[in-house]
A and B are shown apart, each in its own frame.
Chain A
Amino acid sequence: MSENVILDEHGLRRCLNRIAHEIIEQNPGDIPIGFIGLHTRGVPIAKRLRDLVSKFDPQRTVHEVGELDITFHRDDIQEELVLPKGTEIPFNIEDQIVVLVDDVLYTGRTVRAALNAMIDLGRTKAIRLAILVDRGHRELPIRADYVGKNIPTAHNERILVQLEEIDGKDNVLLERTEL
């Protein structure tokens, strides 16, 4: 197995800065924004984006970050049981712009489950999708509104996102296993 660093600490920070600016530019300033991270690594990324948007646009109302657990909406429960980590959303999503945040976009099935979970929680003004890395191979018609980096991958490759809050360092690695 070999590893390449796709994004280092500085690259990752640049990606998040750019996403934060895009979110500010593309969403009307008079509607509050709430960031909701998907467990596990979507949550710290959502917190960073929230802090950046608040910093770059101090006039805008930005809610505390929510955490979304999609375990009960997954379609692969028979193959592998994933234990739930819990959903906690500290704001009312009704009529708000919600930015769903995850680290990697791959088949689109996680986002599909997240959208279903969100719809059960209430009616938002709009749901946007922010992704640190889009690695392709979609199995559903889903695309992200904000992408940190597009990294076309092969099936035997894997994107590994490491974050300071969880892994002690910021890095995005491309892992390749020999076929």
Chain B
Amino acid sequence: MKWAKKDLLAISDLSSEELLILLDTTASFKEIISRAIKKVPSLRGKTVVNLFVEPSTRTRCSFELAAQRLSADVISIEKSVSSFTKGETLKDTALNLQALNADFIILRHKSPGAALFLAERLQASVINAGDGPHEHPTQALLDVFTAREKLGDLKGKHFIILGDILFSRVARSNIWALLKLGARVTLVGPTTLLPEVFREVGVDVCHNLDEVLPEADAINLLRIQQERQQATLFPSLGEYTKLFGLNMERFKRCKPDVLIMHPGPINRGVEISSELADCENSVILDQVTNGLAVRMAVMFLLSGGQLPKIKEDARKGTSK
């Protein structure tokens, strides 16, 4: 099969076959990053631009290192030191980067659809590194890759996604990825952070963590994103922790080999107790390692295969 996509914008866009190709390719890169020389020349001569208009440490570093391991040249731009502060638009910034012959633009942006907006206008491959609460595809890929490493085939496996679902792009991307791989998904959180409307995509919704914990093969915790909440959507962090925090008492009621996952950064003592974050069932650091292999696989696949079909006016940068 040829890889036909120019961009990676959302897991919901991918077929199950494409998802599996991404995961299989990731396995090959995982072998490479375990070697003494962790570099291959696949993207030699290519330029990768990390355009992070919203703060990020691990995703930006992971993409940067992944591009370097593929032998690409990498530029990282953050909002605070870019012309965004002078009022330049996203489109103009990206067109300027394209004029410098960037081959990949990796975009983190607060607005849902920002990556799609660029992908439709640029010849460069655009990778969505998180667009507001919409999607974070590479995070979902590394999550399901890690889960497959530990649990094998995910078909029929029961995943709990716990916490701030409403504001979470990770939750959305994970839901799509897990459903495409045949897993069962239960979303758990307070009613204010977990609208019933999520049932429509084929997942279960539950507001009582203790009810579903014993059935779970994996628990994917989400960070409480206080920065995205306009108003407080639960009375206090203390109450959230009491009702939805994963602690040793709750852990004892789980399957003994349950996987504990978290996309980071962790609020220790809020959504998870410190001892569980560091326990044997926790694969949080494996997720970080696998993230590097996933991002190498994504850039490798997007760099090959069919040439992108771009409207002629987009090549000239005149499309709206």
* Nearest CB of A to B17, in Å: 11
- Which of A77, A81, A85, A122: most chain B Cβ within 10 A? A81
Contact B42 A87 (CB under 8 A): no
One digit per residue, 1 when the CB lies within 8 angstroms of any chain B CB and 0 when it does not, for chain A 101-123 equals 00000000000000010001110
One digit per residue, 1 when the CB lies within 8 angstroms of any chain A CB and 0 when it does not, for chain B 1-34 equals 1110000000000000000010011011001100
One digit per residue, 1 when the CB lies within 8 angstroms of any chain B CB and 0 when it does not, for chain A 1-29 equals 00000000000000000000000000000
Contact B28 A120 (CB under 8 A): no
Residues of A within 8 A of B (CB): 69, 71-73, 77-78, 80-81, 83-88, 116, 120-122
Residues of A within 8 A of B39 (CB): 120
Q: A73-B41, A77-B42, A121-B37 are in contact. Are A86 and B304 (CB under 8 A)?
A: no
**Nearest neighbor of A122 in chain B, beta-carbon distance:** B36
* Nearest CB of B to A127, in Å: 16
Residues of A within 8 A of B35 (CB): 120-121
Contact A72 B40 (CB under 8 A): yes
A87 to B27, CA, bound (A): 10
Q: List 8 A-B contacts (CB under 8 A).
A: A72-B28, A73-B42, A77-B303, A81-B3, A84-B24, A116-B41, A120-B37, A121-B37
Residues of A within 8 A of B303 (CB): 77-78
Contact A87 B37 (CB under 8 A): no
Contact A81 B301 (CB under 8 A): yes
**Nearest neighbor of B27 in chain A, beta-carbon distance:** A86
Residues of B within 8 A of A (CB): 1-3, 21, 24-25, 27-28, 31-32, 35-37, 39-42, 300-301, 303-305, 307
**Nearest neighbor of A81 in chain B, beta-carbon distance:** B304
Contact of B21 among A83, A85, A120 (CB under 8 A): A83
A80 to B2, CA, bound (A): 8
Residues of B within 8 A of A78 (CB): 303-304, 307
* Nearest CB of B to A140, in Å: 16
Q: A72-B41, A73-B41, A116-B41 are in contact. Are A84 and B28 (CB under 8 A)?
A: yes
Residues of B within 8 A of A83 (CB): 1, 21, 24-25
Contact B40 A73 (CB under 8 A): yes
List the 10 closest pairs (A to B, CB-CB), nearest first: A81-B304, A72-B40, A84-B28, A81-B305, A120-B37, A77-B304, A72-B42, A86-B28, A81-B3, A87-B31
